[in-house]
Chain A
Amino acid sequence: DAGVIQSPRHEVTEMGQEVTLRCKPISGHNSLFWYRQTMMRGLELLIYFNNNVPIDDSGMPEDRFSAKMPNASFSTLKIQPSEPRDSAVYFCASSGDRGTNEKLFFGSGTQLSVL
């Protein structure tokens, strides 16, 4: 199993540009999480999907952020327009059903720098 796959690993963009981060969860997992990590705030949950449906998006900072999960094997997190304060490492994680596998498996993250 290749684990959770995220792309790109690094993204450098200019303020105002659109940024799209991608994630492929572990096959068979039905929960997917997007987290943002910064030194100041630590790991923040942005959005949680279960069976491709957004269940909790209360962590999404503002309307500039959007996330989709069109199928069980792919999710995107989009920032439009991007701002310097969005610079962070963005992690995608997946897990199985509660009661069988509650631990999260994280991808390697996308390091986003907005200039």
Chain B
Amino acid sequence: GESVGLHLPTLSVQEGDNSIINCAYSNSASDYFIWYKQESGKGPQFIIDIRSNMDKRQGQRVTVLLNKTVKHLSLQIAATQPGDSAVYFCAETSGGSYIPTFGRGTSLIVHP
């Protein structure tokens, strides 16, 4: 069936480096994408979202890129900090659905 998946289960970076977390999706009807951050012992928290009529959206230190041609989503974190260490999930919904489909998650480890 349709699914959302991640390329890398674990990403280790040095503090101050830029991080890129990737996500592939298979549902060509997906029209809304969200990145969540889950810190240890907490629930996932919204970071940034993007709709399918856009290919880039920027937040504070984060940028989401959407390539609909290859069904690929990425989250870029600038000047990664130890506080960015967490598991990052991409999620998508498609027209008419209220229910997001979550990927398996990527663990980001930031070394001081």
Contact = CB atoms under 8 A, between A and B. Distances in A.
Interface stretch (B57-65, B70-78, B99-107): B99-107
Interface in B69-97: 89, 93
Contacts of A98: 98
Contacts of B45: 106
A76 interface: no
A48 B46 contact: no
Contacts of A108: 41-43
A103 B36 CA distance: 9
Interface residues of A, number: 22
B99 A109 contact: no
B99 A56 contact: yes
Size category of the B interface is 10 to 19
A97 B103 CA distance: 23
Contacts of A106: 36, 43-45
A55 to B, nearest CB: 8
A104 B46 contact: yes
Given A42-B104, A102-B93, A103-B34, A48 B99 contact: yes
Given A91-B43, A104-B100, 11 more contacts: A31-B98, A42-B104, A43-B105, A48-B99, A55-B98, A102-B32, A102-B34, A102-B49, A104-B46, A107-B43, A108-B43
Interface of A: 4, 31, 33, 42-43, 45, 48, 50, 55-56, 91, 93, 95, 98, 102-109
26 contacts: A4-B43, A31-B98, A33-B99, A42-B103, A42-B104, A42-B105, A43-B44, A43-B105, A45-B99, A48-B98, A50-B98, A56-B99, A91-B43, A95-B98, A102-B49, A102-B93, A102-B100, A103-B49, A104-B34, A104-B44, A105-B46, A106-B44, A106-B45, A108-B41, A108-B42, A109-B43
Interface of B: 32, 34, 36, 41-46, 49, 89, 93, 98-100, 102-105
